[in-house]
Chain A
């Protein structure tokens, strides 16, 4: 009330004092009282990590899990439909935007510029690894993407060819490795992945380099296998160096898979996929209690996208991972070992691959199996459960052999990419049309004309198993 009276008095005075301009520009009337207009590097970096955790762990990982038959949707609603490849330009609209906007590339550029200006090369290097990872993930999922003109002053950024983006990502990682060796102090505890440990960041950068090298072998040949070996040799060596998301029990800091199951109202719609459960059952895999809950009959079972429920019944995603604080493994020593196994197998044969496969399996409590492309990639399929990289591996190796759901939308094949999303399609005239995306896999720059819904780095469709 007193404030009101004072205001009333002030208003009367405003007339006589002719203070008309300041009356309009004073206080909260012209400055947003709800949102700050300035920001610190640390605030942005915190936001970026949350934004990218949800990018790596959210919808794209869910779609991978469904497409790769590690998970299965039931109940007829959207999860079920997505596991049968009912996807539209609304499916990953938010995820495409999340690459660039708030918590994405736009803010990463600010963090890099700020830390560079402050002389903090380590901070800059960490942000550069993040940038390479964010953009690399986008190239994996969408193929040709805006990068060089993105999140800058260009209203309609051009779409860069996918392989050029991988080259840029590789260069960015090299720059990051250089900067990580520079002056600190870096983000410290504000870095939720490694607490500012530049050695761990450097290893992660090498594993990422190896990952993206593999993504190019289909079109660039065996040289990329060698690149992968070279990089992964310096990559993440132990589980202690794993790049994992970070979560707490606060409502919107909880694991995204956990949130989905308890909060979305669709939690019951996602269950174990038969393909993964069957592989794990066959080797009595000790990771099952991590991934899945037991069925009422005390065993593990999954739903087959084509066949329904087997005799074991259905497990939910109710393993030890179903925990609000679970940090999702994103780039790991398991992946690094299996990259070395795959690349060595391809270039040098089974004997060269065997130690890397043995090492990875032993660290997960599994017995020795002979290294073959099949056994290496099958182990990677199990080990990288809920990770987008499983989809990339399948696109390259077609292992494990998956029976696609019969959906003529994508030529009865498992989709190899996603639509860019209606937001980009409606606003950026450079965006390939839906028809172009279907026909060329998004590669309008070179007009490669890939048959099917796939990206330029993935020219060869997987044969459907008989």
Chain B
């Protein structure tokens, strides 16, 4: 170890001292590079392989290389021309001082990208055919065509088993990305590692609501607002390409940070030649893609009567103040009178809160350079005004990026890359909170007018059910949705700088040294203000401020040296050694202020009391050493072996280091086994290990100042008390030893090109076992502690991935491509350290999602109807008299038990009720180019996977859901029981819970009204199974038509080289059985593990996009 360090240290010193004198008496090489269609190719690189001397072709395709005399000794060399999308061509030359060389290249197109340099991370690269693992590459065009402002969302449908789920269509909402299934339960750490130009960046997503743990808001992803995932601070227009390292075999060199895959992003660089200017302006119109189905026939009340009539006095006079009393629950329901023909106005709550949003996105870039210098400068401003009424639904992002490189000497290149982002979002509350938009909007009875939400003098009039003017603090049940939209404040203001310094030194013809020093710093200021009079169970009624900031900075360096040598045409190899150092600091500083002094402003100084300040700091340091060797045999067999030694401050002090090996083989057997019609064939296999580091500070027992809670949120006492500093034992027991989680993955596959590469096919199978999985085990509270982080659980993910592309037409003026991809992942919990189940993060309870041994990770574990063969015979105390075994004799498994009264009953035992993981995912895309017209489209498919539509569960209980428009007439008898008539249904028949039934009441037709929807064993009784729906979908993600004007008129009179016009649609249509807003939704946020949860989440949007591009 030490000697290796000294070696690398010496290299670094050598690098800074080295300088080479150039000579004027060299060799000049000139020529022209064209495509096989005869078009001159600009920006193609032409280099002398091994000498690291080269240039880039100018706009006319011509190039000139000057070789210094000192390096021209009459030796043979290989002159290689390369351009992305074309097959590289090499030409042997002999370098003799004073003898000029001229050579023209003709490059054939290269749809399979064979021979292209592929960045494989930590300073290593390879070429496509040498990779032992599958390659997933997304280029700038694909990112641009997605019309997404968040690069994570732009990856939707781009690569097999790269699942992307946007939380909602709100401006600035983050997207969750998962590669090849869930492999860790680490909280907030489930996302792939994002690396930009060789430097890891932060992609966290943190809810402001988590700043307020004293109100029980520990799962803010579920209760607060949508939040950005921080990779969205990158301007997608700055990206040249993205390589997705899937699996442990591809990511092993990133060690304990690659457990969920690695996203390698390369930003655009300047190219030699004339300085280019490009201005692009995009305007899009966005609206809600589907409305929620609500009934508008029945009004507020219960038993068919309005609350006023239900509260009538003995004389039968209605009580108009019935809904002044919070305890009058009837005011919250829509089981009141039939409004048809009564003249009572009805309000369209499904539409009233939405407007047409719009997004503007303006980009300007300047780039250029010469053979020694290049630069790329861009500036962009994005403004997204969302689809909700009111001022609090927008996101804006300004970005500036400068990337420059300079060849200091023929052997030494240095570069710099700096990016600044300013991102500001205003969000609207959603989810499981009475302050949320959708909860208030969709539950409100149709005859209740939500407007105006304020009195004529701006005073608070009512929120939901309190029409008493001036009563500020009484609980309203839930917010008037317009109050939520206009008065509540939730914002995030972020400034971020990230970038790097790079240097690359060709010490000798065979040894290259790379050094990258990168940094990423941001400060994100958050404010949440609940104005006086808000609903909610955390003191929002008297006003509450949550204010704080997140500061994150990360420094990273990567030093690597690569030696390469070609021993003979049939034997070549490379050897890389390197070192990385990484230091990540995170700080959250926040306060909650309660009871506003004056209604405004929303700041802490304007509050009566303040909660204890939260100041949470964490620092993680990593030091890694790695080595990689590759061997090329007979120009067809490629072997790679690599090893990383990873040290992390998060491991315990007795195990500071861990090893991560990998090995792969790739065999291009088309070179020895020519098959007619098969132009390329390759077999590949790779094995690798990668992991996930533990959360820091788990190995020391500490004392805590966290408040003791009781009864309800917002009620607590702190250990520091009465002027004395106080502490209590942490509820978490320290863990003696922690190692990284480790995924061992074997991946094998094949790639084929057919008919001169007019078609291609790739297939990959993988088998990954993750061991040492870290999970939080609950301890017996009587032991003194609640929980302990323990290690040793085991997961398995296996899967299959396929891609196929056909290019039926590829002529100079007409190309057409159709591609498809398909993937599936099967996850299984192999070992859970004996725990019955472990709940996933962020914790959610209707339904909860868990890991259970033998089941897919993340199954929903909750209550459902009593069913034959599924429910235990004795159902427990609630329905102890049911002998299921007898009733179910001869009935199929899953038959619905029907009680004597004709209704199903709730099984009080928790069980697995659904799996949110899709059965398979896929995508279809096509691109057509005819002369100056380009057309493209992308269909994104998710098949299967449950989404729990809790929104429907709540709305059917409240009587506002469309399905409740068909209802029995209900009243109550002398004993207070609900008695209903009409709307007869038979469980198991006629489209009503179709399927087998069993039990004494099977086949009985029963009236269905409030007795079932509101009082039956459904959502509020804990029956979450009843609202599970098929969350599969097919989405028309992208469709676009573009035209490029580059006529002489444009060039000569307008002064542009081309003008591009494009009309596109984003998420224009979704085919799905899901009855909620959209099956692409998730309360679980952008970094949690819980999927498929929809409880008053915000809708998705669709967009029509118009783009104008001016290029020069």
> A423 touching B785 by the CB < 8 A rule?
no
30 contacts between A and B (CB under 8 A): A8-B517, A8-B519, A11-B555, A21-B656, A23-B581, A25-B649, A26-B621, A29-B619, A30-B649, A32-B700, A35-B704, A43-B724, A48-B728, A51-B728, A55-B710, A94-B709, A102-B708, A151-B782, A151-B783, A192-B722, A246-B721, A251-B611, A256-B715, A260-B712, A264-B713, A265-B535, A265-B539, A426-B836, A434-B876, A435-B877
> A106 touching B729 by the CB < 8 A rule?
yes
| Cβ-defined partner of A24 (8 Å) among B329, B623, B710, B727 | B623
A214 at interface, CB cutoff 8 A: no
A31 and B619 CA atoms in complex are apart in Å by: 9
> A18 touching B2 by the CB < 8 A rule?
yes
Contacts of A23 in B (CB 8 A): 581, 621, 623, 647
Contacts of B579 in A (CB 8 A): 15
Those 9 A-B pairs whose CB atoms lie nearest each other, nearest first:
A265-B537, A46-B726, A58-B710, A47-B719, A97-B781, A29-B649, A106-B784, A35-B702, A428-B780
Contacts of A145 in B (CB 8 A): 782
B-side interface size class: 35 or more
**Contact A53 to B717, CB < 8 A, known contacts A25-B649, A263-B594, A424-B782:** yes
> B621 touching A190 by the CB < 8 A rule?
no
A259 at interface, CB cutoff 8 A: yes
| Cβ-defined partner of B785 (8 Å) among A49, A101, A267 | A101
* Segment 348-399 of A: residues with Cβ below 8 Å from B: none
A155 and B777 CA atoms in complex are apart in Å by: 12
Contacts of B475 in A (CB 8 A): 265, 267-268
**Contact A102 to B731, CB < 8 A, known contacts A262-B542, A427-B779:** yes
| Cβ-defined partner of B726 (8 Å) among A14, A47, A421, A423 | A47
Contacts of A256 in B (CB 8 A): 710-711, 715, 717
B653 at interface, CB cutoff 8 A: yes
> A37 touching B327 by the CB < 8 A rule?
no
A462 and B781 CA atoms in complex are apart in Å by: 32
A434 and B711 CA atoms in complex are apart in Å by: 22
> A96 touching B781 by the CB < 8 A rule?
yes
A27 at interface, CB cutoff 8 A: yes
A105 and B521 CA atoms in complex are apart in Å by: 44
> A253 touching B722 by the CB < 8 A rule?
yes
Contacts of A39 in B (CB 8 A): 703, 727
A460 and B1 CA atoms in complex are apart in Å by: 75
> B784 touching A62 by the CB < 8 A rule?
no
Closest residue of chain A to B712, judged by CB? A264
| Cβ-defined partner of A75 (8 Å) among B329, B540, B701, B715 | B329
Contacts of B877 in A (CB 8 A): 409, 434-435, 438
| Apart from the given pairs A43-B727, A265-B541, A435-B876, 11 other A-B contacts in the complex at a CB distance below 8 Å | A33-B617, A37-B703, A47-B720, A47-B728, A100-B783, A106-B729, A260-B715, A265-B536, A269-B326, A424-B782, A435-B877
B707 at interface, CB cutoff 8 A: yes
> A266 touching B537 by the CB < 8 A rule?
yes
Contacts of B729 in A (CB 8 A): 101-103, 106-107
> A27 touching B713 by the CB < 8 A rule?
no
* Segment 538-586 of B: residues with Cβ below 8 Å from A: 538-542, 553, 555, 557, 559, 579, 581, 583
A446 at interface, CB cutoff 8 A: no
Contacts of B517 in A (CB 8 A): 8, 12
Contacts of B727 in A (CB 8 A): 36, 39, 43-44, 46-47
Contacts of B719 in A (CB 8 A): 43, 46-47, 50-51, 103
> B649 touching A24 by the CB < 8 A rule?
yes
> A250 touching B730 by the CB < 8 A rule?
no
A431 and B783 CA atoms in complex are apart in Å by: 13
Closest residue of chain B to A147, judged by CB? B782
A154 at interface, CB cutoff 8 A: yes
Contacts of A465 in B (CB 8 A): none
**Contact A54 to B716, CB < 8 A, known contacts A29-B696, A62-B711:** yes
Contacts of A409 in B (CB 8 A): 877
A104 and B783 CA atoms in complex are apart in Å by: 11
Closest residue of chain A to B703, judged by CB? A39
A181 and B375 CA atoms in complex are apart in Å by: 83
B714 at interface, CB cutoff 8 A: yes
Closest residue of chain B to A146, judged by CB? B782
Measured CB to CB, the closest approach of chain A to B530, in angstroms, equals 11
Most buried by A among B579, B617, B711: B711
Binding site for B on A (CB under 8 A): 4, 7-8, 11-12, 14-16, 18, 20-21, 23-39, 42-51, 53-55, 58-59, 62, 74-76, 78, 80, 94-107, 145-146, 150-152, 154-157, 190, 192, 246, 248, 250-253, 256, 259-260, 262-269, 409, 421, 423-424, 426-428, 431, 434-435, 438
A27 and B649 CA atoms in complex are apart in Å by: 10
> A50 touching B717 by the CB < 8 A rule?
yes
A263 and B700 CA atoms in complex are apart in Å by: 35
| Cβ-defined partner of B12 (8 Å) among A16, A26, A98, A435 | A16
Contacts of A262 in B (CB 8 A): 539, 542
A46 and B783 CA atoms in complex are apart in Å by: 21
| Cβ-defined partner of B703 (8 Å) among A43, A264, A268 | A43
Closest residue of chain A to B620, judged by CB? A29
> B327 touching A75 by the CB < 8 A rule?
yes
Closest residue of chain B to A30, judged by CB? B649
> A37 touching B700 by the CB < 8 A rule?
yes
> B619 touching A101 by the CB < 8 A rule?
no
**Contact A102 to B649, CB < 8 A, known contacts A54-B717, A150-B784:** no
Main secondary structure on A side of the interface with B: helix
> B716 touching A252 by the CB < 8 A rule?
yes
A45 and B616 CA atoms in complex are apart in Å by: 24
Binary A-proximity of B144-182 (CB < 8 A = 1, otherwise 0): 000000000000000000000000000000000000000
**Contact A50 to B697, CB < 8 A, known contacts A18-B5, A35-B704, A252-B718:** no
A146 and B779 CA atoms in complex are apart in Å by: 14
Measured CB to CB, the closest approach of chain A to B878, in angstroms, equals 9
A37 and B581 CA atoms in complex are apart in Å by: 28
Measured CB to CB, the closest approach of chain B to A86, in angstroms, equals 12
B6 at interface, CB cutoff 8 A: yes
Contacts of A78 in B (CB 8 A): 712
**Contact A58 to B784, CB < 8 A, known contacts A24-B621, A107-B729, A192-B722:** no
A45 and B538 CA atoms in complex are apart in Å by: 29
> B715 touching A263 by the CB < 8 A rule?
yes
Contacts of B537 in A (CB 8 A): 264-266
Binary A-proximity of B925-958 (CB < 8 A = 1, otherwise 0): 0000000000000000000000000000000000
Contacts of A155 in B (CB 8 A): 779-780, 783
> A101 touching B781 by the CB < 8 A rule?
yes
> B728 touching A152 by the CB < 8 A rule?
no
Closest residue of chain B to A265, judged by CB? B537
**Contact A154 to B557, CB < 8 A, known contacts A37-B700, A266-B537:** no
> B555 touching A4 by the CB < 8 A rule?
yes
> A264 touching B647 by the CB < 8 A rule?
no
**Contact A101 to B724, CB < 8 A, known contacts A14-B623, A24-B656, A251-B610:** no
> A25 touching B721 by the CB < 8 A rule?
no
Contacts of A36 in B (CB 8 A): 702-703, 727
B786 at interface, CB cutoff 8 A: yes
Contacts of A99 in B (CB 8 A): 781-782
> A75 touching B326 by the CB < 8 A rule?
yes
Closest residue of chain A to B724, judged by CB? A46
A145 and B729 CA atoms in complex are apart in Å by: 21
Measured CB to CB, the closest approach of chain B to A429, in angstroms, equals 9
A412 and B621 CA atoms in complex are apart in Å by: 61
> A107 touching B623 by the CB < 8 A rule?
no
> B714 touching A150 by the CB < 8 A rule?
no
Contacts of A192 in B (CB 8 A): 721-722
Closest residue of chain A to B836, judged by CB? A426
Most buried by B among A32, A46, A58, A265: A265
> A43 touching B327 by the CB < 8 A rule?
no
Closest residue of chain B to A409, judged by CB? B877
> B519 touching A4 by the CB < 8 A rule?
yes
Binary A-proximity of B574-617 (CB < 8 A = 1, otherwise 0): 00000101010000000000100000000000000111100111
